[in-house]
Amino acid sequence: MTSVLLGVLPSVEPWSSRRVVLAASSYYLAYRLCRFAYAYWSHTRSPLRKLPGPCGDALWLIGHTRSLLSGENMDTQDNWLNTYGGTFSLRGLMGKYQLMTTDTRALTHICEQHRDQVLHTWSFVALSSRLTNSLSQRRIINPAFGYAHVRDMTEIFVDKAAKLREVWYNKCIEAGGSVRLNAIEWLSKATLASIGKAGFDYDFNTLNEHAPKNELAEAFDKVFRADESPGVILRVLLNAQFPILKRTLVLRFDESKRLIDEAGMRIVQEKKREILSELAAVERIEKKAVGGRDLISLLLRANLAQDLDPSLRLSDEEVLAQVPTFLVAGETQTFALNATSWAIYALATQPDVQQRLRSELQCVGTELPTLEQLSALPYLDHVARGGARRRRPRRDARPGQRRQHGFVPQVGYAVESRVFLTSLLSIKAGDEVLIPIAPLNRSETIWGPDADQFRPERWEDVPPGASTIPGITPNLMSFIGGPRSCVGHRFAVAEMKALLFHVVRGFEFTLAVDPSELFTRSGGILRPQLRADKSVTLPVVLTLVA
């Protein structure tokens, strides 16, 4: 009987290894495609779809991202805000809905959300892939960026600004009193020199024209001045969304990032050996131990402390990650360079404001002012705030996507000219939130009809509505607020003031081109570009102050 049944059943040939691999690959591909389709469908069911917003130009994979990045001078973003009001939705990568709002109560709630409710996903963090998201680990980092350390670092910022002034002075003398140059190029060299000394205790020699080329300095410069065309930014975002693409969508600054990581790790390990050797005779290393003033040394000393909770301790790689994160994502380099550039642009077009600031700076009786002396100059503070408010280096921030369902309080929105008020706006897990930093800083509702003008005097009588902006810096959203605020905001402001102190004190400057020839691309970082060749540049004519 058994033999009869075996004769009826078809014979089964054993599968070859090739067929097994092919079948497994097919099943896995089908599984991934199903997951992708389900995720995309799930994103389309967001409660945010009921809000007004642009819909016709959304692409199925990248949504409105290209439209948001392709405009000039934030025109696209401003047009959407004018058309749909201060609260609307748009589509991001993978069909995700994104909430954009200028409602300050809603933004306060969003910014203050705990990190276990919102996944931190800063956009355009290209330099460091090891960003530490733990709020507890940030307790190690914060003291290195506190007021006391900024006060010490101001000496470095002022010294590098003085060297920049010396370089420009020599160029003016060689040219007979006046010279045309690209201000943003030299400001970049000055801020990079400050970064090397303050961050690594490393001399980049960027302000020494006769020094040999520094490979590490060039690598940093390539990252800071990387192309921010819509195509490049989309590649950055796609690489973050689909890690497998990193092997195919190689970015031009990837090699620079590798060089920075390798050199940075050598510096970290060398500093660590120095600290351990120095403290070998000390029985107990405590967090209050004082040594080198650069960021790496401070972080390493705090990290090696025996009284530190082991759960807060960072690896060498995480320590290394904090400096480029602080310099690039944390915005010290970006803010100091771009905000100072835009302040110089504004001063070059308003000679009366420039002269008033110069008169205040010339009353300071030293060429090397302290942080306290810089902070005691009210008009310098107004100019710095005005530059940061009107031309925030980054157009918006993406503080994160929801990890769980939640609500945003007190949001108003408009549909077909009808205004709706809701006490709670539902946001599902996976939805993203965009904070329109630049439009919020230039909101006519808050700042009045001249909101888009550079007028430092407005800081003498700040509008009441500005106090509702939930930024870590009063009345500004430039550094965000809450757990996701920029840890290096004091550094950035101190460096900007040091640069303006020496530049404005030593030179009169005007734009070398008509203002209409300069524009900004609505990409990740708002930088002046020449319309003729799209180069990042700020051409000015310098004249020595008599």
Q: Could you tell me which of 304, 308, 305, 278 has the C-alpha nearest to residue 291?
A: 278
Beta carbons of 77 and 439 less than 8 angstroms apart:
yes
What the block records as the tokens of 216 is 């590490």
Evaluated on CA atoms 310, 315, 320, 326, the torsion sign reads negative
Q: Sort 217 into a burial class: Cβ within 10 Å, 0-12 / 13-18 / 19+.
A: buried
| Alpha-carbon 541 to chain mean position | 29
Beta carbons of 101 and 129 less than 8 angstroms apart:
no
Q: Could you tell me which of 53, 74, 52 has the C-alpha nearest to residue 63?
A: 53
Beta carbons of 237 and 64 less than 8 angstroms apart:
no
Cα–Cα distance measured from residue 164 to residue 190, given in angstroms and rounded to the nearest whole number? 6
Through-space distance between the first and last CA atoms of the chain, rounded to whole angstroms: 115
Q: What is the CA radius of gyration of the chain?
A: 27
Q: Could you tell me which of 502, 516, 528, 507 has the C-alpha nearest to residue 159?
A: 502
Cα–Cα distance measured from residue 427 to residue 444, given in angstroms and rounded to the nearest whole number? 27
What the block records as the tokens of 494 is 């101190």
Q: Could you tell me which of 217, 200, 207, 208 has the C-alpha nearest to residue 267?
A: 200
Nearest 10 degrees: CA dihedral of 243, 249, 253, 254? Answer: 50
What is the helix (H) or strand (E) element at residue 411, kind and residue range?
Answer: strand 406-415
Cα–Cα distance measured from residue 514 to residue 519, given in angstroms and rounded to the nearest whole number? 11
Cα–Cα distance measured from residue 41 to residue 27, given in angstroms and rounded to the nearest whole number? 21
Beta carbons of 395 and 526 less than 8 angstroms apart:
yes
DSSP E strands, 14-172:
87-91, 97-101, 118-119
List phi, psi (to 5°) of 400. 155, 180
Q: Is 293 helix (H, G, I), strand (E, B) or coil?
A: coil
Give one DSSP letter per residue of 184-235, joined into a string.
HHHHHHHHHHHHIIIIIS----TT-TTSPP-HHHHHHHHHHT----HHHHHH
Q: Is 363 annotated as a binding residue?
A: no
**Could you tell me which residues are annotated as the binding site for heme?**
486
**Could you tell me which residues are annotated as the binding site?**
486
